[in-house]
Copies of this chain bind each other. A is one copy, B any other.
Amino acid sequence: MSQAQGNSTARRIAIIGGGLIGRAWALVFARAGCEVKLWDPDPTVRARVIDQLLETCQRSGDDPSAVARVTVCADMATTVDQVEWVQENGPENLGIKREIYAELDRTAALETILASSSSALVASSFAAGLAGRARILVAHPVNPPHVIPVVELCPGPDTAPDVMDRAEELMHAVAQVPVRLSREIDGFVLNRLQAVVLAEAMRLIEQGIVTPQGLDDTIRHGLGRRWVLLGPMATINLNAPGGVKDYLHRYGPTMARLSDSAARGEAFTEAAAEILAANLPVPELVQELSLQRDARLGELSRFLHNNK
């Protein structure tokens, strides 16, 4: 059965915000056959969303016919009407987030789930006190979600377990990879892991032990190869003949010693930033390199999908 626009059995999704993340989400849902309504407070953003989505499809290799399932709406109320899920992509500003959620909670039907793409704010910070706080969670993607499938699902203290179940089901249904957290934690999981790597990396670079390129090569052509296939835990499970307990018995004390001497927040110095800036592509290239990265991420995603 074709999943044409107006298909009465299609799942209905609302996207709040038409920037990079909002548009990538629109594509994730639309290419999976959902009917997507999108709204942005800025009319100039709204006016160009469809063209930008078509450009994104061209670069990512997605079928542009999916964009026919995206409708740009003129106001928030129409956007969230009769949808099962709202993916909100507003700025990471607590005051603005609270205003948005107060309005979403007033406007959207009670069974509609309200999910935030926030990477920095936890759900309790903007959902506290709202009548519908049980249907509010964070669904944190990695930019851009149409080529990176992981989505961290982080409940607030009041988020209902069945809302988390529905969130997980929907993410699977649209071919993303949900990671369900049991409770709120600063940075969720992904950025906590990124933070410790960045801290240690910046210190090694500032101390001149390794160049920025050497640091990147260590991950790109080393650890990252295993991690992108297996993840760090499945990796260590295969690094000792007796599995993970054998690994931790043999190497745990070394790993503990190394992490005890690892860098922390003090490593984020201006001096390290200067070395990085002097050794990485200049800011003028960021936009073009980001498009190249996304195209390669799309290729990698297809490769990994076909080589499970």
Residues of B within 8 A of A262 (CB): 192, 195-196, 199, 264
Asked if B307 contacts A299 (CB within 8 A), the reply is yes
Residues of A245-280 at the interface with B, using a CB-CB cut-off of 8 Å, are: 245-246, 248, 252-268, 273-274, 276-277, 280
Asked if A256 contacts B246 (CB within 8 A), the reply is no
Asked if B198 contacts A283 (CB within 8 A), the reply is no
Minimal Cβ-Cβ distance residue in B for A210: B189
Asked if A189 contacts B216 (CB within 8 A), the reply is no
Q: Chain A interface: which size bin?
A: 35 or more
How many copies altogether?
2
Residues of B within 8 A of A204 (CB): 185, 189, 192
Asked if A149 contacts B221 (CB within 8 A), the reply is yes
Is A6 in contact with chain B by the CB < 8 A criterion?
no
Q: A243-B277, A244-B273 are in contact. Are A186 and B226 (CB under 8 A)?
A: no
Asked if A259 contacts B267 (CB within 8 A), the reply is yes
What residues make up the interface of A, taking CB atoms closer than 8 Å to B?
A: 120, 142-143, 147-150, 152, 177, 179-183, 185-187, 189-201, 204-205, 208-234, 236-246, 248, 252-268, 273-274, 276-277, 280-283, 286-287, 289-290, 293, 296-297, 299-301, 303, 307
- Would you give 6 A-B contacts (Cβ < 8 Å), ordered by A? A120-B254, A185-B209, A190-B222, A190-B223, A198-B236, A229-B293
